[in-house]
Chains A and B, each alone.
Chain A
Amino acid sequence: MMPVMTLGHRQLWRRRTPLAQWAIWFGWLALGVLFVFSWQVMNENTMWLFVEDAPRQAADLLSRAWPPRWSYLDKLWLPLWDTVNIATLGTALGIVLATPIAFLAARNTTPSATLLRPFALLIIVSSRSINSLIWALLLVAIIGPGLLAGIIAIALRSIGFIGKLLYEAIEEIDETQVEAVRATGASKWQVMDYAVWPQIAPAFAGISVFRWDINIRESTILGLVGAGGIGLQLQSSLSRLAWAEVTVIFIVILATVVLSEWVSARVRAAII
């Protein structure tokens, strides 16, 4: 039945029934009320004086941040190298840890769907719901400040990302190839090596490079909680209110991020 509105003797077509229309209106109204309520709760303690002052603050900030203190660049090369190392080694460690977990989590390769699969999924989910900065905060408390905390934080966060995308790729493989290899009398590991692995290898490389690109981005700020890299310099410049140095750091970070994104896009285009 098409919803129709009768106006006198004319019949007009309507897209929705009145009930559906009211339900949609009510949904939008509820969203509006929720927004206003949240806005009021959020701004209970907001100092509007500071907010009104913001344009002046911004102008002040800009005048102190410009021109950038380029001489500071010399002190940034080593932290930048550390940052790239945190991202790369962290990604490598993440891949090593995530690959077996992905095979345990994929429905078609898991040895035990009732016991191991939920466990692997739990690892993936908890790794994904905690940001790498929070992982770094925890690890700095455990193993002390430095690069190692950053590398492990990046690795722990990457497990969830790589594990999730990889196990979805494994579940989507073509089963006939697996069947064919199994029909030759191949062992479990040979099936893995000759039927499953070749099918997911391009996805695997693509996911790894993609995560590396994200990790470069995230590793630039891990230093804020003491986990090494260029974020450490950022933290010290911020606490000294040396905004001209902060500008240089931001420019370096931006250049690194853009470069890594370009590299990752090129590599992924070459693979796929």
Chain B
Amino acid sequence: MTSTATPTRWARPPLIRNAWLRWGLYLGVLLYLIAAASTLDVNWQRVLDGLGNSWRVLGGFFTPDFTTRSRDIWQGMVESLSMTVTSTVAGCLISIPIGLGAARNIAPLPVYAVCRSIIATSRAFQEIIVAILFVAMFGFGPFAGFLTLSFATIGFIAKLLAEDIEDIDEAQAEAIRATGAAWWQVINYGIQPQVMPRLIGLSLYRLDINFRESAVIGIVGAGGIGATLNTAMQRYDYDTAGAILIIIIAVVLAAEYISSHLRKLVQ
């Protein structure tokens, strides 16, 4: 506002102040969209044909068939649920020492570096890719799925636990240390009570995530309901596939509801 006359109209400031950066961004986005659209190879005829037939797939949702393949669905659900429970328990148990080691305020530097790199490895690889490798090593079935989900759980829980330990109230740990407590006693009396409620909350949240993932890793052969779903899709048995999807949504909703209630109870 360098002009001497008072401006009569107010214009709001833009989100990005620098005009060059702003217009550069707009131009970049435009160029990218043109480039992306020009290489987008879509067979529109196939899409139109498919949309015409889409009622056959979507119809599966409205006429779900729970009975014909009920044995396969049951088997898949049992595998998924047992895989979820075992992998969450095992994953959390392994994450606790790693999480302790990855907290800078209680672990020496070499231990910290090792634990942080374990966490980084676990987080960098996606469940599906880990599942492919484990299926190749351990054969098809829920055992490979169990290993995959445990591996993924370690990265998640250990990282959040370590951050939680780094955020604790140091005064309490200091007070315990001042009584002459050993390292273990400091952990047990000074730190564990502070992080336990959140650790239980995170484990319940992870239980939820593990079930969702267990529905997917079956597509690459790691057992569970995903394998059943994939088989149903390949048989063009959309009614069964619709039934499986409805079951997955229902279980995810129930798990989310129960775990959020339990988390409120604990915290």
Contacts and interface: CB of A to CB of B under 8 A. Distances in A.
Contacts, number: 137
A20 interface: no
Interface stretch (B1-9, B75-83, B168-176): B75-83
Contacts of A138: 57, 233, 241, 245
B36 A85 contact: yes
A143 B46 contact: yes
A142 B124 contact: no
A138 B43 CA distance: 17
B51 A42 contact: no
Contact of A238 (B12, B58, B132): B132
A225 B219 contact: yes
A198 interface: yes
Contacts of B53: 142
A134 B216 contact: yes
A250 interface: yes
Contacts of B179: none
Interface stretch (B94-102, B107-115, B139-147, B154-162): B139-147
B34 interface: no
Nearest to A59: B137
B139 to A, nearest CB: 4
B46 A144 contact: yes
B212 A131 contact: yes
Contact of B42 (A126, A141, A148, A225): A148
Given A34-B85, A50-B138, A126 B249 contact: yes
B216 A133 contact: yes
Given A88-B36, A131-B216, A254-B125, A146 B42 contact: yes
B248 interface: yes
B143 A46 contact: yes
Interface in A9-67: 31, 34-35, 38-39, 41-43, 45-47, 50-51, 54, 57-58, 61
Interface of B: 12, 15, 32, 36, 39-43, 46-47, 49-51, 53-54, 57-58, 78-79, 81-83, 85-86, 89, 124-126, 128-129, 132-133, 136-139, 141-143, 146, 212-213, 215-216, 219-220, 226, 229-230, 233, 236, 238, 241, 245, 248-249, 252-253, 256
6 contacts: A47-B141, A50-B138, A57-B138, A133-B219, A142-B50, A142-B53
Given A46-B141, A51-B139, A224-B128, 4 more contacts: A89-B36, A129-B248, A138-B57, A201-B15
